[in-house]
Amino acid sequence: MKATSRFFLLFFIMISCSLIAAGVSSYLLYRAALHEEENRLSDIVMTNALIIEEMVRFGKAHPSDYPGGAAAAALAQIREAHLGFVVMGETGEFTIGRMEGDSIVYLLVDRHSGEDMPSPIPWDSKLGEPMRRALSGLSGTVIGRDYRGHTVMAAHVPLPELGLGIVAKIDLAEIRSPFIRSGLIAVLLTVLVVVIGAYLFLRIADAVIRELQELNEQLGRNTEELERSNRELEQFAYVASHDLQEPLRIVSSYAQLLGRRYQGRLDTDADEFIAYLTDGANRMQVLINDLLAFSRVGTRGKPFAPTDCSRAVNQAIDNLAFAVQENGATVTTDPLPILNADNSQLVQLFQNLISNAVKFRGDDAPRVHISAQRNANKWIFSVKDNGIGIAPEYKDRIFVIFQRLHAKNEFPGTGIGLALAKKIVERHGGVIWFDSQIKKGSTFYFTIPDHGGNKR
Ligand code: ADP
Residue 86 pLDDT greater than 80, yes or no: no
What's this model's pTM, rounded to 2 decimal places?
0.57
Which ranges in 62-147 belong to alpha helices (H)? 70-82, 129-135
What is the best residue among 370, 396, 398 to mutate for testing ligand 1's pocket, by most ligand atoms within 8 Å of CB? Answer: 398
Q: How remote is the CA of residue 311 from the centroid of ligand 1, in Å?
A: 24
> CA-based angle 116:68:168, to the nearest 5?
40
CB 366 within 8 A of CB 432: no
Residue 445 pLDDT greater than 90, yes or no: yes
Nearest to 404 by CA among 417, 392, 393: 417
- Segment (H or E) for 451: none
When pLDDT is averaged across residues 302-324 and rounded to a whole number, the result is 95
Distance in angstroms (rounded) separating the CA atoms of residues 177 and 160: 36
Q: How remote is the CA of residue 396 from the centroid of ligand 1, in Å?
A: 12
Q: How remote is the CA of residue 242 from the centroid of ligand 1, in Å?
A: 25
Exposure string over 226-244, b if 16+ CB within 10 A, otherwise e: eeeeeeeebeebbeebeeb
- Segment (H or E) for 331: strand 330-333
What is the best residue among 360, 370, 399, 444 to mutate for testing ligand 1's pocket, by most ligand atoms within 8 Å of CB? Answer: 360
Is 366 close to ligand 1, i.e. is its CB under 6 Å away? Answer: no
CB 370 within 8 A of CB 330: no
Is 418 close to ligand 1, i.e. is its CB under 6 Å away? Answer: yes
How would you classify the pairing of strands 164-171 and 151-159?
antiparallel
Residue nearest to atom 13 of ligand 1 (CA): 404
Q: Which residues contact 102 (CB under 8 A, 6 or more apart)?
A: 122, 123, 124
Q: Sheet harboring 330-333: ordered strands across?
A: 330-333, 367-375, 378-384, 441-449, 432-437
Q: Which residues contact 226 (CB under 8 A, 6 or more apart)?
A: none
Q: How remote is the CA of residue 386 from the centroid of ligand 1, in Å?
A: 14
- Segment (H or E) for 441: strand 441-449
CB 347 within 8 A of CB 316: yes
The model's confidence at residue 456, banded by pLDDT at 50, 70 and 90, is: low
- Segment (H or E) for 354: helix 343-359
When pLDDT is averaged across residues 18-39 and rounded to a whole number, the result is 89
Q: Of all residues in the chain, what percent carry a pLDDT higher than 70?
A: 98
Distance in angstroms (rounded) separating the CA atoms of residues 287 and 227: 25
> CA-based angle 248:253:257, to the nearest 5?
150
Number of Cβ atoms within 10 Å of the Cβ of 370: 23
Residue 120 pLDDT greater than 70, yes or no: yes
Nearest to 251 by CA among 276, 226, 272, 229: 276
Residue 453 pLDDT greater than 70, yes or no: no
Give the model confidence (pLDDT) of 143-180 as tens digits.
Answer: 999 999 999 999 999 999 889 999 999 999 999 998 88
Nearest to 155 by CA among 92, 78, 106: 92
CB 282 within 8 A of CB 274: no
- What's the chain's length in residues? 456
Is 357 close to ligand 1, i.e. is its CB under 6 Å away? Answer: yes
Residue 44 pLDDT greater than 70, yes or no: yes
Nearest to 138 by CA among 160, 110, 111: 160
Handedness of CA 313, 314, 315, 319 (dihedral sign): positive
Q: Residue 405's pLDDT is what?
A: 81
Residue 184 pLDDT greater than 70, yes or no: yes
- Segment (H or E) for 403: none
The DSSP output letter for 266 is: S
Residue 113 pLDDT greater than 80, yes or no: no
Please state, in angstroms and as integers, the Cα–Cα distance from residue 38 to each residue in 146, 186, 235, 285, 447, following that order: 16, 26, 91, 104, 75
Distance in angstroms (rounded) separating the CA atoms of residues 174 and 176: 5
Is 356 close to ligand 1, i.e. is its CB under 6 Å away? Answer: yes
Q: Which residues contact 92 (CB under 8 A, 6 or more apart)?
A: 86, 168, 169, 170, 171, 174
Nearest to 162 by CA among 116, 124, 109, 107: 107
Is 414 close to ligand 1, i.e. is its CB under 6 Å away? Answer: yes
Residue 408 pLDDT greater than 80, yes or no: no
Q: How remote is the CA of residue 393 from the centroid of ligand 1, in Å?
A: 14
The model's confidence at residue 454, banded by pLDDT at 50, 70 and 90, is: low
Residue nearest to atom 19 of ligand 1 (CA): 356
Q: Residue 101's pLDDT is what?
A: 92
User: Three-state DSSP class for 426?
Assistant: helix
When pLDDT is averaged across residues 332-355 and rounded to a whole number, the result is 95
